[in-house]
């Protein structure tokens, strides 16, 4: 739409209005005022519950506070304690693991989407069923997998026994636990990426594929030079949701291990919750400091995504 | 179409594909099948460790009834509905208004506000946790369904506004222009002209937000502590403790908790996917 269209419209409206009648202040300025009236409820809610709490958390992170009594100003005390806390580094490292390994969901989703992008009978149903894991809550996924991993009766234990080995306790072993949880988390995430790519493949221009074929491109080359560039919107969205999902991971850890054993599967999101709101004590200030660190990490990605969207908007999307 | 349509391949390739497809699906859904098989077993199988073999007895009805008779599951389900449905309505209503404002009017702050809504949607929950919990305690909304609804509605408004704004922006602007020339009021344009046109977007958001809120675990844990307002996902952990080692009941409860979002997805698949892909699909 043209930017110039609006003022013009306004003048026409004025001319069209029945002559002679005095116009109220609202009528004269309605194009300036109306958007704010429309925005008011959403802005109010969003400010109270999302925007303000971000700054309040930053503020609380400078205090020692148990959530009930008087808060005591400690300045950067919480942050310097954080820098000496081994649990913080374990969580940070696990967050990095999540981020890197979770991104495997993107190529895996593409792979399944390519496998399913056919038109044999019943394909619609197959696609829906493949998408299934994403619709189920992560709590349920976590329960299923913790039970799979159980060395006494889980399926993993059975497989190990079949090969005559002693089954490992995946969720009880500091070296395996995070990988075990991430593997479980990948299941729904791959399904999500798959559906994004299936939609993307649907919109790939057949002309370009045909042109590519005439040029002798096929298989991997076709995918790399013709298909993938057209799938960029899907890839971008898949990366966004996967990165955010990885850094937000909480449900699975809470259900499967509660950060254990000995905090070895902790991530910042769960570590924060544990410090601020669990039997380990109500350290709201310390918890908020962890939350601020997590927020700043996420802010890097959020800024990048927004910048990308801004470029799109500018190009008259 | 890519990859090459299978019909153009040899008979052998086609047959292999058709055989391999159900096998792949079977492996992919193995965790779900396993949990389903467990949910129909009798207690005897669980005790003797027969988890993956053929069930010695089928007790589907008994197990699924036991979930309700031996726990507060019915209350949890009701809570889930009481939390989810008002959230969906409230957040979509606010997003329709806000999305309309951001898509139709040209004003300086427009793009900024839009980006704030998007950014807010991506922040980690933990940075909101302490203040939101405190606010709920102070206003007496802690441990109430209303408290959860208000927070969820506010948070989901970010995503819904993003979606609505893009959807409305894609509508033909001339429609609104000509209505203005006719002298139709701004709210009337929104109500009679735009709202009927965004019905597909409302449907997409409704199924999506329903699923998100139904599956929420974090906020249900943070903003409730008793039984009275806990939704089913947050209660799963409690049920897990209550049904110690009675895996047949745990799995039956898990599957029951998954039914509403799964139903939503199957009934409104097209809208669901349109929502997930941010409307990138044309149906």
Q: Where are the alpha helices (DSSP H) in A163-267?
A: 177-202, 206-214, 219-222, 228-230, 232-248, 251-256
Q: How far apart are CA B106 and CA B125, in angstroms?
A: 32
Question: Could you tell me if A202 and B281 are in contact, meaning their C-beta atoms sit under 8 angstroms apart?
Answer: yes
Distance from the Cα of B75 to chain A's closest Cα (Å) equals: 18
Q: How far apart are CA B117 and CA B155, in angstroms?
A: 9
Q: Which residues in chain B have their CB less than 8 angstroms from residue A39's CB? A: 97-98, 101-102, 113
pLDDT at B58: 79
How many CB atoms lie under 10 A from the CB of residue A219? Answer: 9
Question: Could you tell me if A205 and B279 are in contact, meaning their C-beta atoms sit under 8 angstroms apart?
Answer: no
Q: Encode pLDDT of A242-295 as tens digits.
A: 999 999 999 999 989 888 788 899 999 999 999 998 766 689 999 999 999 999
How far, CA to CA in Å, does B247 sit from each of A292, B32, B66? 39, 14, 12
Cα-based angle B20, A184, A99 (whole degrees, multiple of 5): 110
| Residue that the structure tokens 């409820």 belong to | A41
With bands split at pLDDT 50, 70 and 90, how would you rate the model's confidence at A45? Answer: very high
With bands split at pLDDT 50, 70 and 90, how would you rate the model's confidence at A9? Answer: very low
Q: How far apart are CA B56 and CA B248, in angstroms?
A: 13
Do A117 and B3 count as a contact with CB atoms less than 8 A apart?
A: yes
Q: How far apart are CA A232 and CA A40, in angstroms?
A: 36
With bands split at pLDDT 50, 70 and 90, how would you rate the model's confidence at A10? Answer: very low
Do A39 and B98 count as a contact with CB atoms less than 8 A apart?
A: yes
According to DSSP, residue B80 is labeled H
Q: How much is the ipTM here?
A: 0.88
Distance from the Cα of B103 to chain A's closest Cα (Å) equals: 10
Q: How far apart are CA B273 and CA A234, in angstroms?
A: 13
How many CB atoms lie under 10 A from the CB of residue A7? Answer: 11
Among chain A residues, CA nearest to B252? A140
CATH of domain B72-276: 1.10.3720.10
**How many contacts, defined by CB atoms under 8 Å, are there between A and B?**
301
Tell me what the mean pLDDT of segment A117-144 comes to. Answer: 88
Tell me what the mean pLDDT of segment A7-33 comes to. Answer: 61
**What 3-state DSSP class applies to A64?**
strand
| Residue that the structure tokens 């009927």 belong to | B196
Token representation of residue A156: 């993993």
Q: How far apart are CA A183 and CA A206, in angstroms?
A: 36
Residue A196 CB partners (closer than 8 Å, separation 6+): A109, A234, A237, A238, A241, B276, B277
Decide: residue A314, CB within 10 A, 0-12 exposed, 13-18 middle, 19+ buried: exposed
Q: Which residues of chain B have pLDDT under 50?
A: 280-283
Do B31 and A187 count as a contact with CB atoms less than 8 A apart?
A: yes
CB contact residues (below 8 A), chain B span 247-266, against chain A: 247, 250-251, 254-255, 257-258, 261-262, 264-266
Token representation of residue B16: 């292999």
According to DSSP, residue A281 is labeled B
Q: Which residues in chain B have their CB less than 8 angstroms from residue A255's CB? A: 217, 236-237
How far, CA to CA in Å, does A139 sit from each of A272, A276, B88, B257, B259? 19, 21, 21, 10, 14
pLDDT at A6: 42
Do A199 and B124 count as a contact with CB atoms less than 8 A apart?
A: no
Q: What percent of chain A has pLDDT over 70?
A: 91
Q: Is the peptide bond prior to B253 cis by the omega test (within 30 degrees of 0)?
A: no
Q: How far apart are CA B56 and CA B136, in angstroms?
A: 50
Q: Encode pLDDT of A192-234 as tens digits.
A: 999 999 988 988 888 888 888 888 877 888 888 888 988 988 8
Do A50 and B32 count as a contact with CB atoms less than 8 A apart?
A: no
- Which run of H or of E encompasses A73? strand A72-73
Domains of chain A with bracketed CATH: 79-314 (1.10.3720.10)
B182, β-bridge pairs: none
Do B49 and A9 count as a contact with CB atoms less than 8 A apart?
A: no
Residue B269 CB partners (closer than 8 Å, separation 6+): A128
- Return the closest-CA partner of residue A192 out of A103, A117, A312, A100: A103
pLDDT at B279: 53
- Indicate the pTM of the whole model: 0.88
């Amino acid at each position: 739409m043209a930017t110039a269209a609006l003022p013009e419209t306004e003048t026409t409206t004025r001319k069209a209005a029945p002559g002679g009648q005095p116009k109220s202040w609202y009528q004269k300025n309605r194009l300036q005022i109306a958007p704010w009236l429309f925005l008011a409820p959403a802005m109010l809610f969003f400010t109270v519950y999302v925007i303000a709490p971000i700054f309040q958390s930053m503020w609380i992170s400078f205090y020692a506070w148990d959530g009930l009594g008087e808060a005591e100003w400690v300045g950067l005390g919480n942050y310097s304690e954080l820098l000496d806390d081994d649990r913080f580094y374990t969580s940070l490292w696990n967050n990095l693991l999540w981020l890197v390994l979770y991104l495997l969901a993107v190529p895996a989703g593409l792979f399944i989407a390519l496998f399913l992008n056919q038109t044999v009978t019943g394909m619609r149903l197959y696609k829906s069923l493949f998408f299934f894991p994403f619709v189920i809550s992560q709590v349920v996924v976590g329960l299923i997998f913790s039970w799979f991993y159980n060395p006494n009766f889980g399926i993993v234990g059975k497989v190990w026994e079949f090969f005559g080995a002693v089954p490992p306790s995946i969720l009880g072993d500091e070296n395996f636990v995070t990988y075990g949880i991430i593997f479980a988390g990948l299941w729904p995430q791959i399904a999500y990426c798959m559906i994004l790519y299936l939609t993307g493949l649907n919109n790939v221009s057949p002309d370009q594929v045909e042109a590519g074929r005439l040029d002798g491109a096929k298989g991997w080359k076709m995918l790399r030079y013709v298909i993938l560039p057209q799938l960029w919107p899907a890839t971008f969205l898949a990366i966004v949701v996967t990165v955010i999902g990885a850094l937000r991971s909480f449900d699975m850890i809470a259900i499967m291990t509660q950060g254990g054993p000995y905090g070895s599967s902790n991530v910042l999101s769960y570590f924060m919750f544990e410090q601020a709101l669990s039997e380990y004590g109500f350290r709201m200030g310390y918890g908020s400091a962890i939350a601020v660190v997590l927020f700043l990490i996420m802010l890097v990605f959020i800024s990048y995504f927004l910048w990308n969207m801004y470029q799109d908007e500018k190009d008259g999307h | 179409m890519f990859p090459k349509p299978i019909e153009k391949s040899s008979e052998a390739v086609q047959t292999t594909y058709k055989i391999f497809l159900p096998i792949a699906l079977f492996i992919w859904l193995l965790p779900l099948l396993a949990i389903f098989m467990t949910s129909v077993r009798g207690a005897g199988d669980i005790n003797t460790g027969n988890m993956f073999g053929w069930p010695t007895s089928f007790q589907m009805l008994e197990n699924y009834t036991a979930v309700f008779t031996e726990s507060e599951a019915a209350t949890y389900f009701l809570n889930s509905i009481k939390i989810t449905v008002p959230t969906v309505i409230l957040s979509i209503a606010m997003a329709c208004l806000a999305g309309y404002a951001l898509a139709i009017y040209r004003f300086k702050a427009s793009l900024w506000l839009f980006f704030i809504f998007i950014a807010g949607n991506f922040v980690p929950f933990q940075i909101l946790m302490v203040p939101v919990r405190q606010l709920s305690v102070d206003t007496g909304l802690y441990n109430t369904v209303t408290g959860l609804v208000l927070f969820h509605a506010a948070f989901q408004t970010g995503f819904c506004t993003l979606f609505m704004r893009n959807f409305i922006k894609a509508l033909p602007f001339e429609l609104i222009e000509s209505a203005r020339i006719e002298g139709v009021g701004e709210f009337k344009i929104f109500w009679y002209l735009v709202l009927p046109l965004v019905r597909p977007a409302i449907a997409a958001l409704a199924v999506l937000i329903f699923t998100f809120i139904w599956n929420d675990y974090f906020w249900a844990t943070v903003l409730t502590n008793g039984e009275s307002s806990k939704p089913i996902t947050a209660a799963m952990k409690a049920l897990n403790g209550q049904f110690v080692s009675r895996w047949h009941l745990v799995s039956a409860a898990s599957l029951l908790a998954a039914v509403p979002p799964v139903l939503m997805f199957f009934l409104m698949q097209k809208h669901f996917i349109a929502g997930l892909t941010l409307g990138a699909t044309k149906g």
